[in-house]
A and B are shown apart, each in its own frame.
Chain A
Amino acid sequence: MATDQDIRDALNLLAERAPKTCPVPGDGSLGIARPVASRRPWGLIVAAAAIVLLVAGIVTYAVGGHSGSGNGPAAHSKGSRLTCASTPEQDTAADHDALGNRLAELGGTDIRITAMGAKIQADVRGLSSDLVQRVCATGRLDLRGVVAPPVPVSCRPQVGSPCSATSVPDAAKAGGFTVPVDDTGYQRLTSAQQDLITAALADFDCSTAAAGNQIVASYLVACVTGSAGPTGSNAVLLGPAIVGPTQIDKAIAVPPDAQQGMTEWAVAITLSDGGTARWARYTTAHHTGGDSNVAGVDQCGATGTPCADYVGVTVDGRVISVPVNIEAITGGTTQIAGNFTEVSAKALAASIQSGPLPVPLRAATMQSLP
């Protein structure tokens, strides 16, 4: 008698005998279909082992990703208890399902969510604590067009001398204009009016940047951290959300792929039909025409690449990256890079996947369970 393990062994032996490569249509230039049998690129063989590992990870996600094992270094059998608190205090029951879904999405087991008034408690096994403590983030991802070039923030908030003495809307009021919500609106301003916006951005207090679900405005001032400048932050004026949480159907974390020049984790989002249409409209109107060799967003507008070709990717009101659109994107899948680690990419993907938390939370305490 054979066992099912014999079947697995046999199938895995067969898999090892698979061709390492095969002729495929198209290459880096795309758009030109080539005869199917014209090419046998054997160059990939050396990297085959690496690809096997990589693909194994992707397959785990593609077929559900709930197995608990095979989810990388995050898997531990010990349990964690995370308590999150609502700010401002309100009933947290509405977050119950989303938190449970996130932990399940990440591969957690024995999940128990208990809403306790203004606090909510999550018990889970099989996940590392640094992964668990990220699940209380609101998890709202928006793609917004850049309106004006980012400005280095010079203000350091101190007791007695707060920043944001003049906000962007204040500056607009003073200059007698309405806050522009796209780059053509910004270009129509006089240079004196543009200077008022620049000054207001330089005085922006990044620690007060709007967070979570409060982001509903037609424009958003957000901070790009880790940039050059006196405070390490740039403030940027972004337009209305082109794509928001309701237009995102699915999000997955994508491991690095050295072959593709992808050295860091990324998050791939799949848009709904409506989101795909909106995104296609925007990226068709605003792209560099295939040119990927353009300056950073700091120089947008001035160097001939319009600011609108850049898109601010914001998570809970903070800019995680400002990529440039190279071409019209008519398919529904877009990959986002944002200095992700494995943990942050997986946590963000799970948060987007479950939808933003209706009640904003912050992680309060974290303890391990026996």
Chain B
Amino acid sequence: VTTLEPLSFVTFVDRHRSALLKFAMVLTGDYRNSEDTVADVLGHAFEQWDRIAGVESPLAYVRKMITNQYLSTQRRNALWLRRRAQLASHDSSPDPSGDVDRREAMIEQLAQLPPRQRAVVVMRYYLDLSDVEIADHLGCRPATVRSHAAKALAALRVELANADQHHETGRR
């Protein structure tokens, strides 16, 4: 006998836990912080699950909750995290291939970005969202998203031509 069931909280968590943790990790850049953020957000989501199960995309909704949680806690932790990133940058060991070093260097640079800029970068390059989708996610205008992205890319010293090209051809 097959059964008819709502998208239960347990099913949602089992199905999306891994993606949510990865998203939180990429967003916060910190193992413990991502674990705590996802646990906190899932706790809130559990309390209002009846409503969330009915929204168009529960996954997008919960990701939005994670982003908000990150942005609000990051404001408080910004100074400490930036300092810690500087401390951490001293004890990385060299990598013979150079690839990992390159990625590590980028991870460190990403850690220096202000939280909203980082959120935009993560949504654009990790989730592959369009500027309009990112604007909806962050509750701001697409022009603001583009401005955050431009500042972030400048700070990361990413070749703008290359980045722009991606963005025009990337998605619908």
Contact = CB atoms under 8 A, between A and B. Distances in A.
B42 A30 contact: no
Interface in B21-68: 21-26, 29, 31, 34-35, 38-40, 42-43, 46-47, 49-51, 53-60
Interface residues of B, number: 73
Given A7-B156, A15-B25, A18-B21, A311 B106 contact: no
Contacts of B7: 268, 331, 333-335
Residue from A8, A14, A48 having most chain B Cβ neighbours under 10 A: A14
A58 B15 CA distance: 9
B25 A19 contact: yes
Contacts, number: 212
Interface residues of A, number: 75
Interface stretch (B71-79, B85-93, B122-130, B139-147): B122-130
Nearest to B137: A63
A334 B39 CA distance: 25
B5 interface: yes
Given A14-B26, A15-B22, A51-B18, A62 B60 contact: yes
Given A11-B122, A63-B60, A4 B133 contact: no
B122 to A, nearest CB: 6
B2 A323 contact: yes
B17 A329 contact: no
A26 interface: yes
A321 interface: yes
Secondary structure dominating the interface of B: helix
Given A8-B126, A335-B5, A20 B18 contact: yes
B83 interface: no
A209 interface: no
Interface in A42-76: 44, 48, 51-52, 54-55, 58-59, 62-64, 66-67
A24 B17 contact: yes
A331 B46 contact: no
Contacts of A335: 4-5, 7
Interface of A: 1-4, 6-15, 17-28, 30, 33, 36-37, 44, 48, 51-52, 54-55, 58-59, 62-64, 66-67, 249-250, 257, 259-260, 268, 270-271, 276, 283, 292, 294-297, 311, 321-327, 329-337
Given A33-B46, A292-B1, A334-B4, 5 more contacts: A4-B153, A30-B10, A55-B18, A260-B14, A323-B3
Interface of B: 1-11, 13-19, 21-26, 29, 31, 34-35, 38-40, 42-43, 46-47, 49-51, 53-60, 99-100, 102-104, 106-107, 110, 121-122, 125-130, 133, 153, 156-159, 162-163, 166, 171-172
